[in-house]
Amino acid sequence: MTSPAPPRRPAGSPARLSSRVAGLTLLAIASVPALVIACAPAGTATPSPAASTSPSSDGSPRPKPTTWPTMTIEATVALGAADNDFTKMAADVVSAVDSENPQKILTVMTGALKFLTENEKNIPRLQEYGATKAVGDRLAPAYARMIAGAQAVVDGLQTGDADGVQSGFTEFFEGNKTYVGISADLGDIAEQAILMKRLLLK
């Protein structure tokens, strides 16, 4: 039985391939500050329609969320936790592109692809429930673009398709830019989900 052939290395010298992707470095770096800002804790969270307020013991209002389905809570908490890792993912991608090392880029983008694919599995749970559907519907295409872009980069590096690598990075960072705009809203519903989970565990 013949063993399958290993993936082909990128055609041409590493310098030739890296010259095609090095121009994306500035785009990648530009996305990081915005991502850091979006992932920073907001000064004031805006409650969703699923939350109401009730006075605490000292008379000040405090959130009193309605109970969401357990799977929705778990999925929202998981996506909120993953949001904290997006800054590192973006920084790792920038570092890899800046290194102009195709093997490092392949390793980092393979890791990013796995990270995104695992997180994406939680999005349908948000889309299935009214209070989280709007955020879920916005997350789905952002994740889809990042995943498609990361996959295109990985495939391009393995087959020597430099144009595929370049277009893949463009797609990845466009999806990442969209995600940044959703991050704050995701944080809001994640805070509510964490509170509900704590109440359920009591």
Mean pLDDT score of the chain: 76
Give the separation between CA 174 and CA 17, rounded to whole angstroms.
Answer: 22
pLDDT band at 53 (very low <50, low <70, confident <90, very high): very low
Where in the chain are the domains? 22-39+66-201
Contacts of 51 (CB under 8 A, 6+ apart): 63, 64, 65, 66, 192
Does the pLDDT at position 151 exceed 70? yes
pLDDT of residue 175: 96
Task: Using the predicted structure, report yes or no on whether residue 62 has a pLDDT greater than 60.
Answer: no
Whole-angstrom Cα distance, residue 190 to residue 77?
5
Written as one string, the DSSP assignment of 11-75 is: SS-HHHHHHHHGGGHHHHHHHHHHHHHHHSPPSSPPPPTTEEEEE-TTS-EEEEEPPPPHHHHHH
The band of 79, judged by pLDDT with boundaries at 50, 70 and 90, is: very high
Which residues are registered as beta bridge partners of 55? 61
Of 141, 148, 127, nearest to 182 by C-alpha is 141
Angle of CA points 130, 134, 136, to nearest 5°: 95
Residues near 181 by beta carbon (within 8 Å), at least 6 away in sequence: 38
Q: pLDDT band for 199, please (50, 70, 90 cuts).
A: confident
Residue 191 has pLDDT above 80, yes or no: yes
Report in angstroms the alpha-carbon separations of 177 from 28, 71, 145.
Answer: 10, 28, 10
